[in-house]
Amino acid sequence: MVNDASDTAEESLAYKLERSTGSFFERIQKLWQKKWFRLFAAFLGLCALGWLLIWLIFARDLPDAAALRTYEPPLPTMVRAYDGEPVHSYARERRVQLEFSEYPALLVRAYLAAEDRTFFEHGGLDYPGIATAIVTNISNSGRPVGASTITQQVAKNLLLSSEVSYRRKVREAILAYRIEDVLTKEEILELYLNQIFLGRNAYGVQAAAQAYFNKDVDALALHEIAYLAILPKGPSNYRPEVHAERAIGRRNWVLKGMRDNDWITSAQYQTASAQPLGAVSNSGPRFERVGGYFIEEVRRQLIEQFGENEEAGPYSVYSGGLWVRTSLNPQLQGYTKDALREGLLRYSRGKGWTGPINTIEIDDQWPQRLASTFINTDHANWQIAVVTKSARSETEIGFKDGTAGQISSAPSKLKVGDIIAVSPLGGSRYRLENVPEVSGGMVVQNPHNGRIWAMQGGFDDRMSSFNRATQAERQPGSTIKPFVYATALEKGMTPATLIDDSPFCVYQSAALGRKCFRNFGNARGAGEQTLRWGVEQSRNLMTVRAANDAGMENVVSTIKTMGIGDYNPYLAFALGAGDTSVMKLTNAYSMLANHGRELNPTVIDFVQNREGKVIFRTDKRMCENCNLRDWDGQPMPRPRPAGRQLMDPMTAYQMIDILQGVITRGTAQNLKGLNRPLFGKTGTASGPTNVWFVGGSPDMVAGVYMGYDQPRNMGGYAQGGTLAAPIFRRFAEKAMAGMPKTPFVAPKGIRMVRVDRKSGKRVYGGWPTDDPQSAVIWDVFKPETEPRRSIRKEELLARLEARKAQLLAEQAAAEAAAQAANRNRTPAQNDDEFLQAEGGIY
């Protein structure tokens, strides 16, 4: 019964649906018979087909306009010194991003007058403007007139290409509507004013204000604002140095538009239109150029960490808008650069002109060719020029700006096309300057944390970009010896240990054969001397004996642990035969001053993104309770010391104390005049092919190297003490002038003992004096290693022999006196008296 009722209901529903459907189709069929309905249906079909075609051809792959809400324009990376002052920027596009509220209202209106007067009224497209442009282009055979609104320009610049086609214009119009839906008018204007290209590599109005007027946007005058507003149409058409009249005419047209829209008064218009352009010449970097080699090392590390372009990620160097705090000290960098340059020039004086910096072809375009080399210098009053005409009596030269001059007494090997350095003599006369062929590198480091304060990798980075402070691997010579002796100290020697300074030969291997070592300059051996004396006088024979006794496997292990290099266990490496860099060796000496604790040389402190968030930090140490709001009554919290303990602190201090003797009594005595606690070591590689000095104070360590890029003999007189140490002295005289004279602090456990400087034996009766050559000095020992108060067998025998000699001398003197007295008496009366007078029986 229930089933029958259900079947009946279903049949009834099906009938109703069939009847309804049939009724619908019948109506359509009736309407289709009417012409107007068929035309209407065809129109709808064409519209649908049109929209489909538009979507397929123009809108199918359009970018999402909503992406502009989070759009971040490419921004340069700003580099700051240790104190936060900007010193450089890495940029391929000059741009400064501002918020809309930071742009003056008058500036915004100037751009509206020039580009889109109805911007705040239309919805993305200016239909009257489009119609006017069509009519103008049909009736005018000149330059076509466009009708792009500011919204369309934003769509083209940020989401589309600059392709000239109708397809791009349609896509641009579609995007303009979409942009108006997702962004406010102010947000659109902000994107436009920050992005638009205005010439002189300036993207955005703030960058253009700096490029053309050396001002910020809020300091621009009305006529300057109007000039910037004409540049979007084509910056090259209104270059002030070429098309000044055309630019003034177009600028005044913008001012007239602003007056007609009541955005400025007639008086303002009259005053501004009467002004000259007032644009400055094409300005270079905003910052004074400092630390070329240092800044390039920072750039290299940033690219390695974050990538170069925006394809590499959001924090790329040339578009990520990073803020980089470095350890660069501009003042110390200047001292470093000047000291190294003076040292290179001092060595080169009297050696004759060494040749051109580079060469170019001389034709009508030689000024552009010279400029495109980017060769420059900031040394003294030097300028870069090229030889344009060479004659016996006079040589003509030219500069990047096309001006000319003359050189007198030019060398015969000077050729047309040679790029040279010159200095002015007056008028159009110049003197040829010699860029040193020899080069070198210098690094200045904080030994407490490893931060690099200054770095100079050659004479000038704009002449040679090769950084000899970090990239040049050279033999360090005797500057490696402190780490050889540090190993010996670790293996039981003391500063007072006697080492034989005599010929030393060793059979190294079947391949290397027998090797005999010698002192520098073939100096004769001095016999047994203290370890301290061997370091101070840089004795090679004592060094190889110490290395041999300590074990070369242990020596090269110490050298590797200190980050200097990875060498095979051959004795030659104890004398500096292995290659290393100035940076590595300076850092190793800094670790000695840091009581043997690990340091990593760093040039970057931290990096922030464009919002100010720190995305990279060199010092990752945690500091517990450092952010407490109130003092908790406990000692001030401090981060734990960074780095591992790579060397026994007492061993490191022993070497520091010994290396102070190098300054006061050894190979670097020309630094005594600095009159402060200093340690250091000179070095001269075989040849000599390069010279070194590394050392400093408890708060500043510096290393310097000098040599040819293709190593060759520098001359027999070349030594670390005569060439490299004076460079350090010139630097330190200025860099350390205001620094306190802080002594080196000994670690816990060190014993200070009075010893005889020559023998190393303990002294009880005398005291050290201020004279570096004092016979008695304070020496440093680890516990239980200082000389004992004891009399050895040989000392006892020596004392007995001395006493016996003294007694015999006294007896001989007495007998001589008796004989003299007897000669004045009466001759002897008996045999006893005779024998006594003659001193015995013969």
Contact between 665 and 536 under an 8 Å Cβ cutoff? The reply is: yes
- Name 606's bridge partners: 325, 617
- The amino acid sitting at 149 is T
Contact between 358 and 386 under an 8 Å Cβ cutoff? The reply is: no
Active site residue 115: yes
Sort residue 553 into left (φ over 0), alpha (ψ -120 to 50) or beta.
alpha
Sort residue 255 into left (φ over 0), alpha (ψ -120 to 50) or beta.
alpha
Of 803, 811, 797, nearest to 840 by C-alpha is: 811
- Burial code (b: 16+ CB inside 10 Å, e: under 16) for 821-833 equals ebeeeeeeeeeee
Report DSSP letters for 433-458, one per residue. E---S-EEEEEEE-TTT-BEEEEE-S
Record the tokens describing residue 463, joined without a space: 């002449």
Element (H, E) at 114: helix 105-115
Q: How many CB atoms lie under 10 A from the CB of residue 537?
A: 19
- The amino acid sitting at 293 is Y
Give the side-chain half-sphere CA count within 13 A for 510: 0
Quote the CA–CA distance of 563 and 647 in Å, as a whole number: 12
**Catalytic residue among 319, 478, 538, 590, which?**
478
Element (H, E) at 499: strand 498-501
- Looking only at the bridges linking them, the beta strands covering 395-398 and 498-501 are unpaired
Give the side-chain half-sphere CA count within 13 A for 666: 28
Quote the CA–CA distance of 383 and 376 in Å, as a whole number: 7
- Whole-Å CA distances, 20 to 23, 26, 31: 5, 10, 17
Quote the CA–CA distance of 42 and 125 in Å, as a whole number: 29
Quote the CA–CA distance of 796 and 811 in Å, as a whole number: 23
| 667-671-673-675 Cα dihedral, nearest 10 degrees | -110
Which residues, 6 or more positions from 327, have their beta carbon under 8 angstroms from its beta carbon?
Answer: 82, 446, 451, 452, 453, 602, 603, 604, 605
CA 821 to chain centre: 91
Quote the CA–CA distance of 17 and 420 in Å, as a whole number: 98
Q: Which single residue is written with the structure tokens 């041999």? A: 548
Quote the CA–CA distance of 654 and 665 in Å, as a whole number: 16
Contact between 363 and 398 under an 8 Å Cβ cutoff? The reply is: no
Burial (0-12, 13-18, 19+ Cβ within 10 Å), 85: exposed
Contact between 519 and 525 under an 8 Å Cβ cutoff? The reply is: yes
- Three-state SS annotation for 414-425: CCCCEEEEEEEE
Q: Which single residue is written with the structure tokens 């050559």? A: 773
Longest pairwise C-alpha distance within the chain: 188
Q: Which single residue is written with the structure tokens 């009366």? A: 829
- Looking only at the bridges linking them, the beta strands covering 439-445 and 504-509 are unpaired
Quote the CA–CA distance of 150 and 290 in Å, as a whole number: 40
- Whole-Å CA distances, 697 to 60, 161, 220, 793: 69, 59, 51, 44
Quote the CA–CA distance of 270 and 259 in Å, as a whole number: 10
Burial (0-12, 13-18, 19+ Cβ within 10 Å), 624: exposed
Active site residues: 115, 478
